[in-house]
Chain A
Amino acid sequence: MTDVLGFGLDGLEHDQLGEILAVHPRGDFKNEFLRAYVDGLKNRPETTNGTVNSDVLEHFIPGFQRVTTVERIVGSPWPS
């Protein structure tokens, strides 16, 4: 959460953070991570249903439509 979304970043000591990033640089992390994220999911899009992962496919894969919980309930084999 801290590395991807920045949660708690304000609470990290500046010098300590600098030392970590010097050894493990972020580079173009936001874009590269999103690319790796898409690449890891695009061949099994249905596994993202109901998770934060479907956000990523919805953003980057043209035509991708997430299956919502409402659609699954309405489309269930029950008559009512």
Chain B
Amino acid sequence: MREVIAGLEIPETAAVAEATRRIQETTSPLIYHHSRRVFFFSLIHAHKLGVKPDPELLYLAAMFHDTGLLTPFSDVEQRFEVDGADHARKFLLDRGFSTPPPRPFGRRSRCTPRRASPTGWPRKSRPRTSVS
């Protein structure tokens, strides 16, 4: 079902629905609500700045960004931000998102596997499905 809050739409994809469930089940209401607000605020800021992030990736990044503060995500002795990024990366790769080729100077953060896009990234092998 299409979900719109304050005029801002939650992307309707299987990965989004699964991430929402997973964050609700494995974190706390505090982190869940915070992460959802982060998505909405990010979308608002993006509109103001004239940038157009992939809404699905923005949503997934927002939902995973604090997961490293909690088990089972904080299972490696490293900065919690990197924990969250690693889990987001695995979540995306497990669902058929592609990995971008390395860029010089680390302009992308670690949690940026991305979908095939018109910008020349390789297409994924399997089709994406939407949640109805």
Binding site for B on A (CB under 8 A): 2-3, 8, 11-12, 15-17, 19-21, 23-27, 29, 32-33, 36-37, 39-41, 44, 47-48, 51, 53
**30 A-B pairs (CB sep. < 8 Å):** A2-B41, A2-B45, A3-B37, A3-B38, A8-B41, A11-B48, A12-B44, A15-B6, A16-B6, A19-B6, A19-B7, A20-B8, A23-B5, A23-B6, A24-B33, A24-B36, A24-B37, A24-B40, A29-B30, A29-B34, A33-B30, A36-B30, A40-B68, A40-B70, A40-B80, A44-B77, A44-B78, A47-B78, A48-B79, A53-B80
- A78, chain B: closest CB distance, angstroms: 26
Q: Are A8 and B45 in contact (CB under 8 A)?
A: yes
Residues of A within 8 A of B5 (CB): 19-20, 23
Binding site for A on B (CB under 8 A): 5-8, 28, 30-31, 33-34, 36-38, 40-41, 44-45, 48, 66, 68-70, 74, 77-80
Q: How distant is the Cα of A10 from the Cα of B89 in the complex, in angstroms?
A: 33
Q: Are A41 and B80 in contact (CB under 8 A)?
A: yes
Q: Are A37 and B40 in contact (CB under 8 A)?
A: no
- B128, chain A: closest CB distance, angstroms: 27
Residues of A within 8 A of B40 (CB): 20, 24
- A23, chain B: closest CB distance, angstroms: 5
- A40, chain B: closest CB distance, angstroms: 3
Q: List the 4 closest pairs (A to B, CB-CB), nearest first.
A: A40-B69, A19-B6, A24-B33, A2-B41
Q: Are B44 and A16 in contact (CB under 8 A)?
A: yes
Q: How distant is the Cα of A64 from the Cα of B31 in the complex, in angstroms?
A: 25
